[in-house]
Structure 1
C-alpha cells in the first residue's frame, strides 16, 4: 500500500516546525505582556514614583530653584508683600510644604519676601506719541506693559489717551504701565462744539469729551473756564482738539 504525501517524513517535520514556531510566538507574546504590564508601564506612567518636597524656606530664590530641580520638581516664584520682620529676599513659604510626597515633575510654589524697591514718580505721557511715551517711561526707570486701542479720539493717531498708573504716582522701579492709544480723528462726520465758558475745568472736559472732542490743556486745572478755542457752535470732526483756559 502506498503512503500518502501527508504522512511523509518531510511533512511531519514541517508540521512539527510549524507548531514549535507557533508555541514560541505564543510564549514570546506572553513574556511581552508580562514585561509591558509589570516593567514598562510602571516606568512610563511612574505609577509608584514619588519624591519628597525639599524644604526651601529661608533659601534665596536661585538656591530654592536649584534644590527643586535637583529633586526632579518644577519651581514657580512669586513675591510676597514685604514683611520687615523677616529677612528680605528669601523664601518665606512654599506649597506643598516640605516633606510632602508628590509625583516627579510636580510644580512647587515658593514665595519670596522681596525687599522694597526705590520709588519713582510716574511721568505724564498723555497726548504724547506712543514712541515718545515709551522713551519717557523707560527713562523714568519704568516699563510699558499692555498697549490697547482706545475709543477716545485725538488729533493724531497712536497718541496716548490714558495711562495707568496715573501721573505723579510713586511706584517701584520697574513697574509696568498700561497705555491706551488713539485711533485718530474720525473724518466721516462732524459735531458741534458746545459752550464750556463759565463752568469748571472738570465739567468742561466732560462736556467736550461727551461729544467726541479732545481736550488736553494741562494747565487749566482749577477755577472756571474763561475762554475756549474754537468757540461754541463751530463744527469739528470727532477727535479734534478744543483748548480751554481758566482764571
Structure 2
C-alpha cells in the first residue's frame, strides 16, 4: 500500500514538473516574440523605411520640361508635369513654379510637381474618318496635324475589313495639333443573315443606331435632314451581317 502511494506521489510530481516546463517554454516563446517585435519596430523598420533619410529638392525653375524631369529623377524624386495657362510675360515652355519649393528637405521618392508655361498650340478640327479605310483615315488625320497613336479591333461589322468604325476624339472637335487619335477597325462582313429593321420616321442618329445594333452598317453622310424618309433595302429584307443599309432624309425644317 505504502509503495503504491509513493508511486502515485512520484507520478504527480512528474506531471507537475512537466507542466511547469511546458509553461516556462510557452512563456519563453512569448517573451521572444515580444523582443522580436520591439527590435523589428525600433531597429529594422527605421532602416527599411529610411525615416532618417532626406533629399533636398533641386531647383528646376527655368528648365525645360525634359531637363526638369531628368533632374528630379536623378535626385531620387518623383516628377509630374502640369501645364498652366500661358503667361506672355514669362518665357515659354519652361518651368515657372514647383511644389515643394527648391531646397525643401523631403523623403526619397517624394513626388515633385513642376508647372510649365506652355506656349499656345495651334488648333485643328478633327476630321470625320468613320467609314474610311485605315490608310485613308491615317492620311486624312495626319494632314490635319493629328497623330494616330492607337488602332483597336472592333466587333462592329462593315462591308469591308479594316474600315474605321469609331474614332476618338470624335469628328468636329477642336483639339491642339499633335493630339493623339485612337481608331477602331471592323473585322469585315460576317456570315450570319440579318433582317433589315424599319428606320423610316426616325432621326438620322436614331436610324444609324438601330441599324448598327441589328448587325448591319450605315454611313449615308449626306443624310443630314430631320427625319429618314426612305431606306434601301426596305424593312424585312435579308442581308449578310455587316452589309450596308442606305438612308435618305427629308430636308431640315421640311
Question: RMSD in angstroms over aligned alpha carbons?
Answer: 2.8
Q: Provide, for residues 188-221 of structure 1, a one-character-per-residue CA deviation record: whole Å limited to 9, x for no partner.
A: x211112222332222212212211111001102
1:73–1:107 Cα contact (<8 Å) kept: no
When structure 1 is superposed on structure 2, of 237-246 and 89-98 the one drifting more is 89-98
Which residue of 2 is the match for residue 136 of structure 1? 140
Which residue of 1 is the match for residue 212 of structure 2? 209
Structure 1 pair 192–83 and aligned structure 2 pair: CA distance change class (3 A): same
Q: Distance in 1 between matches of 2:67 and 2:102?
A: 15
Q: How does 1:193-204 map to 2 (within 5 A)?
A: 193-204=196-207
Q: Distance in 1 between matches of 2:73 and 2:169?
A: 37
Q: Provide, for residues 42-93 of structure 1, a one-character-per-residue CA deviation record: whole Å limited to 9, x for no partner.
A: 9xx99976542122224333553565477x4467452314243762322133
Q: Out of 54, 60, 65, which is 1:56 matched to? A: 60
Measure how far apart 1:144 and its partner are.
1.1
Measure how far apart 1:103 and its partner are.
6.3
Q: SS in structure 2 opposite 1:97?
A: coil
2:157–2:216 Cα contact (<8 Å) kept: yes
Q: Provide, for residues 21-51 of structure 1, a one-character-per-residue CA deviation record: whole Å limited to 9, x for no partner.
A: xxxxxxxxxxxxxxxxxxxxx9xx9997654
Q: Out of 71, 79, 83, which is 2:82 matched to? A: 79
Matched, 1:158 2:162: yes
Matched, 1:117 2:125: no
Q: Distance in 1 between matches of 2:73 and 2:228?
A: 65
Measure how far apart 1:174 and its partner are.
0.2
Measure how far apart 1:154 and its partner are.
1.0
Q: Out of 76, 93, 98, which is 1:94 matched to? A: 98
Structure 1 pair 120–209 and aligned structure 2 pair: CA distance change class (3 A): same
Q: SS in structure 1 opposite 2:119?
A: coil
Q: Out of 225, 233, 236, which is 1:230 matched to? A: 233
Which residue of 2 is the match for residue 9 of structure 1? none
Structure 1 pair 108–224 and aligned structure 2 pair: CA distance change class (3 A): closer
Structure 1 pair 66–231 and aligned structure 2 pair: CA distance change class (3 A): closer
Unaligned segments of structure 2, at least 5 residues: 1-46
> Structure 1-normalised TM-score?
0.70
Structure 1 pair 110–195 and aligned structure 2 pair: CA distance change class (3 A): same
Unaligned segments of structure 1, at least 5 residues: 1-41
Q: Distance in 1 between matches of 2:221 and 2:112?
A: 49
Which residue of 2 is the match for residue 173 of structure 1? 177
